[in-house]
Amino acid sequence: MQEAALIIENNKEQIIDDWIKSIREELVTPRKTAEIVLRNHVPLLLEDIINIMKSYDNFNINEEKNNFVGMLERSIGHGRHRSTSSGYDIEQVLREYIILHRILTRLYRKNDAYTTDIADLIKYIIENSMLYATGAFNQSLDEVRQKLLGIMVHDLRNPISAAYLAIGVLRQEDEPERFNKVKEMTKKSIARSLELMENLLESVTVNPGEGLTMEFAETDLLKYIESVYHEASEIYSNEIVLKCDVEEIVGVFDCAMVQRVLENIVNNAVKYGSRKTQITMTVIDSPEYVTIDIHNQGNPIDEQKQKEIFKFLSTSNGKSPGKLKSWGMGLTIVKAVAKGHGGSLKLKSNGEDGTTFSLVLGKYKNEPGKIKTALNFIK
């Protein structure tokens, strides 16, 4: 087996080149995939095969977990990575391994070194790699679907709570102006709930490499920002302040998604900020971008926590200063929405200045229509 290991070792780059060429010819998705992405697993798998061949004399198939643990872990990583690559499916993951098996077989035949032992060992390694990679691929997609569903269900709480509270304070004897204002707010909250339910159904069919569905249209974003402001003013005990020196912000946005993001940031500002100070929403408009700063006073977010809260569905695992447990949707989603608009999400938090989340959105980075955001949930 030492000579068999040397054959792969001496031809490793050629094997990888042949493999990339073959999968580009035979599979649809990899034709547009960068070479560095395609190469992410095969060199390591070849090293595993070489090492196993070199230690073949001590090989015991009944101790597979001890002998192959590294290889199997890397296969799991490969499957999870492919689940975040747009256009991949189970068949293409399997075909990648089948093509590698064929190339190795052809190499050994060419060198007159193809034996039963070599054939059995390569078959065993490839089959187990396929098994673990495809299992991880499916599991990762299930995790994404479940987490997206969790986001949608969580976000339904805001508009439903707003509608419930509005109905609770509505009285027949109220002045017509207040009656109509509360009635309109209730209608908007229910409409928002229906939008979220539609997104909930779309999340069930998420494909590899896909995240949230975003629907862009040319519209006035300021109306949605004001809606978040008015709704928050009704729900929360904190004073909510909106600062904006323009009358409209026209661009191509997914306004419903931006509204969800702002609702969640304001919600977290209430939970984690001081209950006695105001929360400020500052809107800064420019020709290409709009920036929305949401600021609150209170205990700052320490540096370690600032890293953790950007993880998907991150929670405090404890209590906020106001004794409210965080069930935030995770700033990974907020960042995905910002990125989907060609923008960014920034965080500044310290004891002196308080905490500010800055959501930057490009105004004309997209054409009107639906897209699926690229959203990597894999840890």
Q: What is the CATH number of the domain that holds 90?
A: 1.10.490.10
Boundary (domain end) residue, out of 119, 142, 165: 142
Query: How many domains is the chain built from?
Result: 2
> What's the confidence (pLDDT) of residue 374?
60
CB atoms within 10 A of CB 44: 16
- Please report whether residue 185 resides in a domain: no
Pairwise CA distance, residues 160 & 164, whole Å? 6
Pairwise CA distance, residues 34 & 14, whole Å? 18
Stated pTM of the model: 0.57
Query: Would you state the structure tokens that stand for residue 335, as one six-digit string?
Result: 């960042």
Report pLDDT digits (tens) over 219-238. 999 999 998 998 888 778 88
- Please report whether residue 321 resides in a domain: yes
Sheet holding 354-362, edge to edge: 240-244, 279-285, 289-296, 354-362, 344-350
Boundary (domain end) residue, out of 107, 142, 177: 142
- Please report whether residue 97 resides in a domain: yes
Show the low-confidence residues of the chain (pLDDT under 50): 313-329, 376-379
Sign of CA dihedral 73, 79, 81, 84: negative
Domain span including residue 53: 2-142
Same-domain status, 224 and 113: no
| Residues 6 or more apart whose Cβ sits within 8 Å of residue 340 | 212, 214, 254, 257, 366, 371, 373
Amino acid in the structure at residue 293: D
325 in Cβ contact with 315 (< 8 Å): yes
* SS3 label, residue 371: strand
> What's the confidence (pLDDT) of residue 90?
85
Same-domain status, 236 and 116: no
Boundary (domain end) residue, out of 88, 123, 142: 142
> What's the confidence (pLDDT) of residue 27?
77
> What's the confidence (pLDDT) of residue 61?
54
> What's the confidence (pLDDT) of residue 326?
38
